[in-house]
Amino acid sequence: MSKKPIMHKARKRFGQNFLHDAGIIRRIVRAINPKPGQHLVEIGPGLGALTEELLQEAGALDAIELDRDLIPVLRTKFFRYEDSFQIHEADALKFDFASLRTDDRPLRVVGNLPYNISTPLIFHLLSFSGQISDMHFMLQNEVVDRLAAQPGEDHYGRLGIMAQYYCRVEKLFKVPPGAFQPAPKVDSAIVRLTPYDQLPLVARDVHKLQEVVRTAFSQRRKTLRNNLKPLIDASTLETLGIDPQLRPERLPLEDFIRISDAISEQQQEEH
């Protein structure tokens, strides 16, 4: 007897595009390589295409789902995992991921992230990097390029710099629009973010670093001298060995840290 397909219309306001390509799903699961006993967390399970494979491999999963109409669908589909499949009806952008840590197992976070919230959601998750062993996300290909970009590349900017401060970033493979229902208008890609056990570069004040990076990229076409004027003057940049005439996309992470550390030091002396 053939399975009756679950009917649920993808909602634009939730940015839903449901993954249905079995080959791509298997490839994602191979990349994640879930094992029994690990603490898996899936953001936006949708109709559970990826969830099913993850549960088969790991045996347990926490799911964060905002669309309340999908929750009974998921509960019915995975009723046999009643004790090991927990659904949290919540907005992942506001969710306290640290609340899922009930033992010493770090979280392994996965998700086909809605395009409209992917950047703020990644920033939110980076604040929990100490609770997470790795993250595997399906994102718009351009967002993955931004996460992995190096200084001087077109996509290099605030998202990549802050992601690379906390994590090792690996672009794994591209996913065509046809793998989804409805098909998005752009290519997607899978990315792996692995938070460092010990940060290779440490800023004195990470909030100051975030402010410096945000301010530096507020107008990409302007120089560091112009963009960073409210925070640091050109002569101080020169003292640090940084050319104030450079555009922000030329600067590696360590230079942004040196700038933020100098500002932190200066502000400390003033107080």
Q: Give residue-wise pLDDT tens across range 22-44.
A: 888 899 999 999 999 999 999 99
Given a cut of 60, is residue 16 above it in pLDDT? no
How far apart, in whole angstroms, are the C-alpha atoms of residue 34 and residue 40?
8
Question: pTM of the predicted model, to two decimals?
Answer: 0.89
Confidence of residue 10 (pLDDT cuts 50, 70, 90): very low
CA 219, 223, 224, 225 torsion: positive or negative?
negative
How far apart, in whole angstroms, are the C-alpha atoms of residue 23 and residue 37?
25
Instruction: With beta carbons less than 8 A apart as the criterion, state whether 192 and 136 touch.
Output: yes
pLDDT digits (tens, 9 = 90+) for 63-113: 999 988 889 999 999 999 888 999 999 999 999 999 999 999 999 999 988
3-state secondary structure (DSSP) of residue 68: coil
What is the CATH topology of the domain spanning 12-195? Answer: Rossmann fold (3.40.50)
pLDDT digits (tens, 9 = 90+) for 146-161: 999 999 999 999 999 9
Of 144, 168, 153, 171, nearest to 252 by C-alpha is 153
Residues 6 or more apart from 135 whose CB is under 8 A from it? 108, 109, 110, 125, 167, 192, 193, 194, 195
Of 59, 195, 181, 183, nearest to 131 by C-alpha is 195
- Residue 178's φ and ψ, nearest 5 degrees, are -65, -10
Instruction: With beta carbons less than 8 A apart as the criterion, state whether 191 and 170 touch.
Output: yes
Cα 169 to chain centroid, rounded = 10
Residue count (the chain): 271
Return the CATH architecture of domain 206-270: Orthogonal Bundle (1.10)
Q: Where in the chain is the domain with CATH 1.10.8.100?
A: 206-270
Token representation of residue 145: 């390029």
Q: Name the residue with higher pLDDT: 186 or 7.
A: 186
Q: Where in the chain is the domain with CATH 3.40.50.150?
A: 12-195
pLDDT at position 116 is 83
Given a cut of 70, is residue 258 above it in pLDDT? yes
How far apart, in whole angstroms, are the C-alpha atoms of residue 147 and residue 76?
36
Cα 46 to chain centroid, rounded = 18
* Terminal Cα-to-Cα distance of the chain (whole angstroms): 75
Q: Name the residue with higher pLDDT: 115 or 172.
A: 172
Confidence of residue 3 (pLDDT cuts 50, 70, 90): very low
Q: How distant, in Å, are the alpha carbons of 1, 29, 84, 152 from that of 58?
A: 28, 11, 10, 41
